[in-house]
Chain A
Amino acid sequence: MRVEYINPFVETSYRVLKEVLGGSEVKRGDLYLKSTAMPVMGVAALVGLAGDVEGRVLFDMTMDTALNIASKMNGEKLPEFDDLAKATISELANLITAQAVTKLHELGFKFDLTPPALFVGQKMEIAALGGTSENVEALIVPLITEYGKIEVNVAIRERT
């Protein structure tokens, strides 16, 4: 995966998260790469990319973090992970991906986004992009906030 793809996601994740959380502190953990299937924490929003480059971006967090962030973004305490909370986390994924994609377009990559899909559950695992052979490495960007940790998981490849 080329570094040009990665930076826009790292930058916009940080910036958008800080903005929607009302300027609260967001710290970036150490980035790491993974090429095998990996467990997800409980709530995952996925946005697909298709065009000159293809792949997916996954925003992974625990249920507690998802509820805290959705509550903060709505300006009210959401007691359970209801439809509004789901729509809020999906929108967060959409905001970050859309801004990253806008930057990538400026760099000359042309592609489209899917609306976010949201997964909720325990003991889930996400397969590496491309199945088992010639896997695409996923880059994981941990973002730590006072509301909990979000891992932004980016797996993109150039279409051949």
Chain B
Amino acid sequence: MKTKQDFPTINERPPEGVKTDGTKFRVLIVDDSMFVAKQLGQILSSEGYEIVATAADGKEGVDKYKELCPNVDLVTMDITMPRMDGITALEQIMAFDKNARIVMVSALGKEELVKKSLLLGAKNYIIKPLDRKKVLERISASLK
């Protein structure tokens, strides 16, 4: 029995991480936690996104962004990190590239911090613990 022909799938949709031209959206993950970087990487890769690099603090994130630009479509940015926090890194990346798409990912949900991030140019804000659905929704919305 040729199931594929008998039952055409109605659920098929293109993975969100792939652009209309077939290439993948390229993501830079900035997070000092190996656990969170891995978790984000798994969620995003499963939807077709490509993780081009990860950085373990804000300073490294800014450096990697400058190095990769323009071959990076989105940055996920932690806030509490050693050396340079994510808010400072957000400011520096926005100053370097005003079209940068940055999504903050933090366990801190303080309203003033969310407001500040958005005012500084962040596209969205994800509060941890990470939930697959929440992450994919916010990331794909930020790429529109």
Contact = CB atoms under 8 A, between A and B. Distances in A.
Contacts of B32: 115
Given A94-B107, A102-B110, A105-B110, A84 B34 contact: yes
Given A84-B38, A94-B107, A115 B80 contact: yes
A95 interface: yes
A64 interface: no
A105 B113 CA distance: 11
Determine chain B's interface SS by DSSP, over half rule: loop
A16 B129 contact: yes
B81 A115 contact: yes
Contacts of B36: 87, 91
User: Which bracket fits the contact residues of A?
Assistant: 20 to 34
Contacts, number: 48
B35 A74 contact: yes
Contact of A83 (B34, B109, B112): B34
Contacts of A20: 129
Interface residues on chain B, size class: 10 to 19
B115 to A, nearest CB: 13
Interface string A128-158: 0000000000000000000000000000000
A43 B129 CA distance: 21
B106 interface: yes
Interface in B52-95: 80-82
Interface string A71-97: 001100000000110011011001101
B35 A91 contact: yes
Given A87-B33, A94-B33, A102 B108 contact: yes
Interface of A: 16, 19-20, 73-74, 83-84, 87-88, 90-91, 94-95, 97-99, 101-102, 105, 113, 115
